[in-house]
């Protein structure tokens, strides 16, 4: 039956190999189940966003399970999906921006924005517009986005771990409270223990290294009395539902246009990057073409729409799927196994809530993920300043402005200007000129709004 459904023999694999590969992929990316509630429940200043961690956990498991199962059954690819790292931070940034604009229940409007971007991505997947968008943004800008988000994620990891803190006049600096406060010292020890375990295992290519790091941090935190044991098994007890809570009215306002555009770009580029990377590693590319690529893009778009419906940020394909591929996964059966394991994770709600509610326990994962995203820096064309400078502005603008949106705006605004100054304006796609105007209008209207 499995051979008929997934063409195992044609792909030179077996049922046993695919099952083990699916388990491997799940262990490699299961950290998102713990991190997603911790990230979306609070903004960058540590204030509640209005979203219930239990509802986020439920949405994360449902979205990851449903879309990964669909990927396996419909596209027959060993690619797993879940709420994306990077997109979830931009989601929080969107909530903060909307709150600053006076939008009521900004998290609901943010879900509406994700829903709209998913519908747009779905249309792009059915039309040739997707190819136009992919060609519009240069590889240097795309990789600059990845580097900037990686640095931003690592910065927040340092903050959650208690390593750095806000400093008057200089922004942020080393947190030295651990020299005089015992609890601060315990937090630092928990953070560095997790970082050492996760980093060391990652260097040894151990499957689930990030998850092992979080586990080591949690055990030490329990031993030091920084968290209380809440049990292991149990289903999420949702107090503030997130399913069907999107706010389309505010999501369709002019204030939301830049956010919708960025969500679309991020999802498209993430999906294409993962698709090419995993397909290359699995040997699925034939005659320089990726079979059933349209199905993968369609599933990814459906995942974003479904994720917004159940109450989480953009769902996208995970590059961690390469872990399962490296273990022999070649077909959709790998994804089916991973999807079923995400569904089974719903039974561990108390454990996830205990870990996610304590920042230093998950901070190591943020730093490791940030470090993994830094490899994109080598893909920036540093020999061409018209490409390098805008990409650099994005990369440093995101962490320095403490805003993904502002960092992207810096780079996207600088790109056409640099090309014009170099006499190479024809290299800029017309869509980027439109985005330049939108960015200027956005900041102008924001200035008026702020008085």
- β-pair type (315-317, 81-83): antiparallel
- State residue 449's pLDDT score: 44
Q: Identify the sign of the CA torsion 196, 197, 201, 202.
A: negative
Which residues lie below 8 Å from residue 114, measured CB to CB, with a gap of 6+? 91, 246, 263, 304, 307, 308, 313, 314
- State residue 98's pLDDT score: 87
Closest CA to 112 of 212, 222, 272, 246: 246
**DSSP β-bridge partners for residue 317:** 81
- State residue 168's pLDDT score: 67
SS3 readout for 202-239:
HHCCCCCHHHHHHHHHHHHHHHCCCCCCCCCCECCCCC
Q: Taking the CB of residue 259, how many other CB atoms lie within 10 A of it?
A: 25
- State residue 69's pLDDT score: 96
Q: Is the pLDDT of residue 196 over 90?
A: yes
Instruction: Say which range, 219-223, 286-290, 368-372, has the weakest mean pLDDT.
Output: 286-290
Most confident of 123-132, 280-289, 300-309: 300-309
* Average pLDDT of the chain, as a whole number: 83
Higher-scoring residue by pLDDT: 253, 170: 253
pLDDT tens track for 92-147: 988 888 888 888 889 999 999 999 988 988 887 787 666 566 567 788 887 887 78
Q: Is the pLDDT of residue 296 over 80?
A: yes
In 90-163, at which residue ranges do the beta strands (DSSP E only) sit? none
% of residues, the chain, pLDDT over 70: 89
Q: Is the pLDDT of residue 442 over 80?
A: no
Closest CA to 212 of 31, 37, 363, 61: 31
Q: Is the pLDDT of residue 14 over 50?
A: yes
Provide the residue ranges of all domains of the chain, joining segments of one domain with +: 2-378
Residue 123 and residue 129 in contact, taking contact as beta carbons nearer than 8 Å: yes
């Amino acid at each position: 039956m499995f051979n008929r459904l997934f063409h195992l023999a044609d792909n030179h694999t077996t049922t046993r190999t695919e099952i083990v590969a699916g388990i491997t992929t799940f262990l490699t990316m299961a950290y998102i189940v713990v991190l997603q509630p911790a990230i979306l429940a609070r903004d960058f200043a540590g204030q509640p966003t209005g979203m219930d961690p239990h509802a986020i956990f439920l949405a994360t498991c449902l979205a990851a399970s449903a879309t990964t199962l669909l990927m396996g059954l419909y596209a027959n690819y060993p690619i797993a999906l879940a709420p994306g790292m990077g997109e979830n931070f931009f989601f929080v940034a969107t909530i903060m921006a909307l709150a600053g604009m006076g939008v009521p229940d900004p998290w609901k409007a943010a879900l509406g924005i994700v829903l709209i971007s998913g519908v747009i991505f779905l249309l792009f997947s059915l039309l040739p517009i997707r190819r136009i968008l992919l060609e519009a943004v240069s590889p240097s800008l795309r990789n600059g986005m990845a580097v900037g988000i990686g640095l931003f994620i690592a910065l927040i990891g340092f903050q959650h771990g208690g390593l750095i803190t806000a400093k008057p006049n200089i922004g942020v600096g080393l947190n030295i409270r651990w020299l005089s406060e015992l609890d601060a010292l315990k937090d630092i020890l928990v953070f560095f223990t997790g970082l050492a375990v996760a980093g060391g295992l990652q260097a040894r290519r151990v499957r689930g290294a990030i998850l092992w790091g979080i586990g080591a941090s949690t055990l030490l935190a329990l031993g030091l009395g920084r968290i209380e044991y809440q049990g292991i098994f149990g289903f999420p007890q949702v107090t503030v539902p997130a399913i069907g809570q999107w706010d389309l009215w505010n999501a369709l306002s002019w204030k939301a246009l830049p956010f919708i555009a960025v969500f679309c770009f991020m999802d498209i580029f993430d999906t294409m990057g993962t698709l090419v990377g995993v397909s290359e590693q699995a040997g699925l590319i034939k005659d320089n073409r990726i079979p059933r690529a349209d199905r993968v893009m369609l599933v990814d778009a459906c995942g974003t729409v479904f994720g917004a419906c159940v109450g989480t940020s953009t769902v996208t394909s995970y590059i961690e799927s390469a872990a399962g591929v490296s273990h022999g996964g070649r077909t959709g059966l790998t994804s089916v196994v991973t999807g079923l394991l995400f569904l089974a994770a719903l039974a561990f709600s108390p454990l996830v809530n205990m870990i996610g509610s304590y920042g230093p326990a998950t901070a190591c994962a943020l730093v490791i993920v940030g470090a993994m995203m830094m490899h994109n820096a080598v893909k920036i064309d540093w020999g061409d300043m018209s490409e390098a400078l805008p990409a650099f502005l994005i990369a440093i603008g995101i962490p320095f402005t403490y805003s993904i949106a502002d960092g992207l705006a810096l780079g996207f605004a600088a790109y056409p200007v640099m090309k014009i100054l170099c006499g190479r304006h024809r290299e800029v796609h017309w869509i980027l000129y439109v985005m330049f105007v939108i960015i200027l209008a956005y900041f102008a209207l924001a200035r008026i709004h702020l008085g």
